[in-house]
Structure 1
Amino acid sequence: MLPHPPPETNAQGYLLSFDKDLLQLENIHGFLTESYWSKAIPKSIVAQAIEHSMCVGIYHEGQQIAFARLITDYTTFAYVCDVFVLEQHRGQGLSKWMMKSIMAHPALLRLRRWMLATADAHELYSQFGFTPLTKPEMFMQVHRPEVYKDLPQ
C-alpha cells in the first residue's frame, strides 16, 4: 500500500484522514443503505468495498461525518464513489476539502482517467475538472440496482 498524506485539521476542528483504521463502518453503512445509489446495501458488502479501496473520512468530535471511496489501481485509473457529507455538516466546504485532498494525493497525481457518477453534484465535481463524457457511446455498463435486495443485512 502506498503512503497517505498526514491527517489534516481545519479551522472548524474537522479532521480529514485517509487512515482506514479511523473509519466508522456503522456510520458509513447507515448513510449508504439509505442513499439513492446503494439502497439496502448489506454492511458486509460495504466492509468488503472499503477493504479493497482507498478511502477518506472526515471526523468531528470523534464521529465520522463524511466519506469518499476510490476504486483505483494507483497507476492509470480511479473511480470516485460513495461520497457523502452528513446533512447537518453540509455547507461548510467539507466535500470540496475532501475532493481537493483526493485529487492532490501523491499516489494519484499521474492517473490518466478519473471517473464518477452523480445525479446531483455536478457543480461540485466540475470544480475539480470532471466533465460529462465526451464520447458516451464508448462506455458500457452492466447495472443491477436490485442486486442487494434479497441479501441479508
Structure 2
Amino acid sequence: MGLRIGTDPAEIDFDRVHGFLSREAYWCKGVPADTLRRAIEHSLCFSAFDGDAQVGFARVVTDRATFAYLCDVFVLPEARGLGVSKAMMQAIDAHPELQGLRRFILATSDAHGLYAQYGFEPLTRPDRFMERYRPEVYQSG
C-alpha cells in the first residue's frame, strides 16, 4: 500500500466520501450531499489515499485556536487493518493548526482503543456537557 494523507480539499473524492457516510456510517446515514459539501467546506479535512484511490477520511471542526471536534472518520473496508486510521490520526495530531488546543473532542461507539493511543479519554466533566440531538434531521418526511 502506498499510503498518503492529504489535507487539500480539492483532492477529496466527494462521491466516495458521501457514498460511505450517507449509506454506511451509523452516525450520519442519509446525510444529504449539499449538507456534507458545506460541512467539508468549513472543516479541516484529512484524506487517506492508496495511490490515487481515497480509502479513508476524517473531518475536524475547529476554530484553530482553542477547540476542535473530530468527526466523520472512516476507513473503507478493503483498507482496514493496514494502518490507515493510525496514519490519519498521526497527521491530525501533528497538524500545525491543531496545536495548543484547550479541548479536542470526539464521539465513537467502537474505536475507543484507537483514540486512547492519541490521548483521548472519557470526558473529565460530563456533567458540564449538553447536546441538542436530532437524529431524524437527514430523513425526508
TM-score of the two chains, using structure 2 as the length reference = 0.96
CA distance in 1, matches of 2:111, 2:52: 27
CA distance in 2, matches of 1:36, 1:107: 29
Q: Deviations over 1:16-42 (max 9, x none)?
A: 101111001100101101210001111
| Aligned residues: CA RMSD | 1.0
Structure 1 partner of 2:12: 23
Identity of aligned residues (%): 49
> Gapped runs of 5+ residues in structure 2?
none
Q: Deviations over 1:54-113 (max 9, x none)?
A: 001011232211000000000000000000000110001110110111011111111111
- Give the 3-state SS of the residue equivalent to 1:47 in structure 2: helix
Structure 1 partner of 2:86: 96
CA distance in 2, matches of 1:46, 1:126: 27
Alignment of 1:28-67 (within 5 A): 28-34=17-23, 35-67=25-57
Q: Deviations over 1:108-127 (max 9, x none)?
A: 11111100000000000000
More helix by share: 2
Alignment of 1:115 with 2:112, yes or no, is no
Counting matched residue pairs gives: 140
CA distance in 2, matches of 1:135, 1:21: 38
CA distance in 2, matches of 1:108, 1:62: 26
Q: Runs ≥4 in structure 1, deviation > 6 angstroms? A: none
- AA matched with 2:36: V
TM-score of the two chains, using structure 1 as the length reference = 0.89
- AA matched with 2:84: L
